[in-house]
Structure 1
Amino acid sequence: MAESFMGIDWSSPWLAPLAERGERWRQAALDSYPAYLSILNADARTDPRVTGRGKPLSFIAQDELPAGASYEGHIAETGCVPTRYNLHDFFNGTMWFQYPRIKAALNARQAAEIDVLGIGPTRGAARDALTLFDENAVLFACADPSLAAALRAFDWHTLLVEQRDAWGCRCEARIFGHALLEKLVAPYKACTGHAWIVEVEPAYFFATDAERRATLDNAVSERLKSEAVSSQYFTPLPVLGVPGWWQGNETPSFYDDSQVFRSGRRPRA
């Protein structure tokens, strides 16, 4: 299992924000599963976080999850995150430190749904949407409503070609979904995230990386606490199309691939 951690390239734009903590974790994972869990818990002690019901964050081996217990419910009630020895759970762990308020809000909402509906063969629409966020969300920070409108309209030419210079000064993308990060260890053109649009002030783009993350963490977590969540709130975003993220997209013809940069959903009859 340790071999799966060898392919991480921290110079990738979507992974670079995780590099400092992530490389320490990766080295521990290459050593052993116990060493990996140990460094996660060391960080949880020195940089404390809480889960959905205010319990101090910690990490346990997957087989320590009690039989019959729900994953999200256990995290909310105990603070202990069952963690497998793989890239999927590696990136899940990093998000508890990058966006702790969002992770706690998602956990709280999931646990509340489980309290009401229990654990069944299907999660239901609300839990499906929360899981989609957790696994595949891209936070699209935007200070220009016209760019958000272009994203919603699948207007790739406007968003990614005509307004290319807007990226980094009027909009940006930050990957939150840990399953999406796992896929992007070996990126491919069709790799698509679910964009969650976050309106920000123009001053956001003059802030430091840590300040931007904190702004998004606060804004999104408050929405998750107070609003219903639906899969309809997301807009697909092929992540290798983000300007500056992939060398191939410097050529406008990159976006002519209609199997990746689709024209949008057809209206129902």
Structure 2
Amino acid sequence: MSAGFAAGFCAIDWARPWLAPIEPRGRRWQAAALAGYADYLAVLNHDAAGAALVSGRGRPLAFIAQDELPTGASYEGHIAATGCVPTRHNLHDFFNGLMWFAYPRIKAALNARQAAQIDALGIGPTRGGVRDALTLFDENAVLFACADASLADALRGFGWRTLFVAERAGWGTRCEARMFGHALLEKLVAPYKACTGHAWIVDVPASYFTLDDAARRALLDEAVAARILAEPLDGRAFAPLPVLGVPGWWDANASPDFYDDTAVFRPGRRAR
């Protein structure tokens, strides 16, 4: 194992608030990954066997080495048909695997729609609009659970001062952000101010904020999966969210001046 590889896994800071929902499993997987590729896959498959996860076409989920993906097979199509998730020994696929456990219905719904698009259109030089949107969700989505339409409107309208300053007290009681995109999680191992997710707004009842973490994730998992399977999808379904602006996620954002940086908290087309 190279020093650079080990440093990548060792750099995960489990004290980061956005990692709290996946910390217990993540710590075990991290230790296995540092022990070696075989140990890592063994832990993933042990957990998968006990969790009854399935692919987009109902196949029991397992994690295989990347080089076991047959030549010419599509990644998403192979997962859907066999349940076998090709998994590299790196941070990107580490967080991808964790999302299969955190939000199994969403991951299966994304896989089902990707596989259906591949069946219909084949694999070409471009994915097409629907597959692009599905990939964007998978790689970079933030679930924005919201019980107050005015806060959702502020996010859609680039109303950063409203969302993060004037209505700061609403975070945790009327809205919250939950990480989903595994590429975004990988970036946040080394956080930087401009790191931006694609927020998927989920309307939730006020009672959502009385639930514990597991119940909140289960509610989001079911609701978002149903939408992914039922709705037309394109890139316009998302709103940009600079994730280090989320109250409590970054010490510097305690100061309102943090949000004055228009290179990060951009005014957006509507405001311009």
Counterparts of 1:89-108 in structure 2 under 5 Å?
A: 89-108=93-112
Instruction: State the alpha-carbon separation in 2 of the partners of residues 63 and 251 from structure 1.
Output: 48
**1:169 is aligned to 2:173:** yes
Residue 76 of structure 1 corresponds to 80
Aligned equivalent of 1:203, options 202, 207, 214:
207
How many residues are matched? Answer: 268
- The residue type paired with residue 240 of structure 1 is L
Instruction: State the alpha-carbon separation in 2 of the partners of residues 229 and 34 from structure 1.
Output: 37
Give the conservation status (yes or no) of the 8 Å contact 2:157–2:270: no
Residue 154 of structure 1 corresponds to 158
Aligned equivalent of 1:36, options 35, 40, 57:
40
Instruction: State the alpha-carbon separation in 2 of the partners of residues 72 and 4 from structure 1.
Output: 26
Counterparts of 1:5-20 in structure 2 under 5 Å?
A: 5-20=9-24
Aligned equivalent of 1:182, options 177, 180, 186:
186
1:89-130 deviations in whole A, cap 9, x for unaligned?
000000000000000000000000000111111100100000
Aligned equivalent of 1:120, options 113, 117, 124:
124
Q: After TM superposition, give the deviation of residue 4 of structure 1 in Å.
A: 1.5
TM-score (norm 2): 0.97
Instruction: State the alpha-carbon separation in 2 of the partners of residues 38 and 119 from structure 1.
Output: 31
Instruction: State the alpha-carbon separation in 1 of the partners of residues 80 and 7 from structure 2.
Output: 31
Instruction: State the alpha-carbon separation in 1 of the partners of residues 22 and 87 from structure 2.
Output: 18
Instruction: State the alpha-carbon separation in 2 of the partners of residues 250 and 2 from structure 1.
Output: 33
Aligned equivalent of 2:241, options 237, 240, 243:
237
Determine helix, strand or coil for the equivalent of 2:71: coil
TM-score (norm 1): 0.98
**Could you say what the CA RMSD is over the residues aligned between the two structures, in angstroms?**
1.1
Determine helix, strand or coil for the equivalent of 1:172: strand
**Overall identity of the aligned pairs, in %:** 70
Unaligned runs of 5+ residues in structure 1 are none
Instruction: State the alpha-carbon separation in 2 of the partners of residues 267 and 64 from structure 1.
Output: 50
Give the conservation status (yes or no) of the 8 Å contact 1:2–1:32: no
Q: After TM superposition, give the deviation of residue 42 of structure 1 in Å.
A: 0.3
